[in-house]
Amino acid sequence: MLVDGPATHQAMHAAIAQARDHVNLQSYIVDASDVGERLAQLLKQKAAQGVKVNVLYDSVGSIKTPREFFRGLTEAGVAVCEFNPVKKAPAKLNNRDHRKILVVDGRVAFTGGVNISETYASGSRRARRVQDQERDRKEGWRDTHVQVAGPVVAQFQRLFLDAWALQDCGPWAEARYYPRLERRGDQAMRVVGSDPGSGKSEMYAALLEAVRGARSRVWLTVGYFVPDPDTKEALMQAARRGVDVRLVLPGFSDFWAPVYAGRSHYEELLAAGVRIYEWHEALMHAKTAVIDSSWSSIGSTNLDWRSFVHNYEADLIVQDAGFAREMERRFREDIAASEEIDADAWRARGAGEKLKEWLARQWEYLL
């Protein structure tokens, strides 16, 4: 498990530096900040060494990135593809590639919530030390990523190559995309994706099943929380049957509407016994779950309509008690940095806050 941007990017750069055959990168945001430039220089170096480098970025997520940035990669021998270009595919404007996947030599893979963006130039500890909410919207985000090896890497590779083919990015360069992979441990892992083209979200189904079957605890950390009726009902039913259900959610975000749409559901959740915590000292962007001290997930999927219906997503599910303990330790640290929502105080919130919640909820299907 990798916590926050600096640690994640350091691990990704180290893996890329060791690449001998290929590097496949898929990211919602690839920007031209110092973070993006450092990665770009490394990718150019690997391409110059004969490594096959493929980069797939989302047209909307990376809309502020100058064309010159991607042109520089192409001129250096990097294959670059734009996912659902805004100008060329306006009918697919609402279907975004929200995945964050890196595969190196078909042997190591990364996924989670961390983009290639200036928002990850520093870690969330800095944001907590220096209280500046406007600055925290731009950097120091709290996020979680994961690095894996072993047979599960082939599942990430398939997601990437399928997305490349879907976008008609042209034939990928010949490389050893599927080397023989030996087991690296006893952890059971699988990759789940969301594909609006197929009309299904594997992560949605897997999470609902895990919550509905939970016996002791459901601990979720969610960057954007705008639950559909089934997800909300599953959380409330779990709490009512005595399961320890806790949510760590953002107290502010880069866009106000998802926060208030999520808050419009708090009263029902609190009444059912769900405990809710908000991060106010840094922007919470992680998407993780740990259930019954054995089932865990890390990925790009939020608990909102956009992730479940509109976006292409990717998550790793791990069924292992040791990894779950690590996730629980991180969750407790996040709770310690959060403020718990008191049910009585919440019911007494002002009319202005309730109005914002009502307005945001009218648009929750698109958030």
Question: pLDDT averaged over the chain?
Answer: 94
DSSP secondary structure letters along 316-366: EEEE-HHHHHHHHHHHHHHHHTEEEPPHHHHHT--HHHHHHHHHHHTTGGG
Q: Indicate if the pLDDT at residue 137 is higher than 80.
A: no
Query: Residues 123-152: what's their mean pLDDT?
Result: 78
pLDDT at 105: 98
Task: Choose among 211, 325, 225: nearest CA to 278.
Answer: 225
Q: Cβ distance 139 to 121 under 8 Å?
A: yes
Q: From the CA atom positions of the chain, what is the Rg in Å?
A: 20
Question: Across residues 74-101, what is the average pLDDT?
Answer: 93
- Would residue 228 show up in a list of annotated catalytic residues for this protein? no
Q: Let me know how long the chain is.
A: 367
Which pLDDT score is estimated for 120?
94
Question: Does the pLDDT of residue 127 top 60, yes or no?
Answer: no
- Topology agreement, domain 2-166 and domain 188-366: yes
Catalytic residue among 22, 52, 100, 232: 100
CA–CA gap between residue 281 and residue 119 (Å, rounded): 15
As given in the structure block, the two tokens for residue 98 are 């929200």
37-42-43-47 Cα dihedral, nearest 10 degrees: 140
Q: Which two tokens stand for residue 316?
A: 């790793």
Task: Give the integer Cα–Cα distance in Å for 47 and 61.
Answer: 25
Active site residue 292: yes
Examine the residue annotation and report whether 280 is marked as an active-site residue of this protein: no
- What's the average model confidence in pLDDT over 265-286? 95
pLDDT at 341 over 80: yes
Res. 184 pLDDT band, cuts 50 70 90: confident
What pLDDT shows up at residue 41?
98
pLDDT at 88: 85
Which residues fall within 8 angstroms of residue 345, CB to CB, at 6 or more apart? none
The predicted model scores a pTM of 0.94
pLDDT at residue number 367: 76
> Quick one: average pLDDT of 296-320?
96
Decide: 101 and 163 in contact? Cβ < 8 Å.
no
Tell me how crowded residue 180 is: count the other CB atoms within 10 A of its CB. 9
- Find the catalytic residue in 195, 244, 254, 292: 292
- What's the topology of domain 188-366? Endonuclease; Chain A (3.30.870)
Which residues, in sequence order, are bridge partners of residue 24?
A: 54, 103
What is the average pLDDT across 342-351? 95
Domain boundaries of the chain, sorted by first residue:
2-166, 188-366
Highest mean pLDDT among 121-135, 161-175, 224-238: 224-238
125-134, 135-144, 214-223, 251-260: which has the highest mean pLDDT?
214-223
Fold entry, domain 2-166: Endonuclease; Chain A (3.30.870)
- Given 285, 310, 315, 356, which residue is catalytic? 285
Q: pLDDT at residue 130 above 80?
A: no
Residues 6+ apart with CB under 8 A from 179: 105, 106, 107
pLDDT the model gives residue 67: 96
Helix (H, G, I), strand (E, B) or coil at 23: strand
**Whole-number pLDDT of residue 281:** 84
105 is catalytic: yes
Q: Within the chain, what is the greatest distance between any pair of CA atoms? A: 63
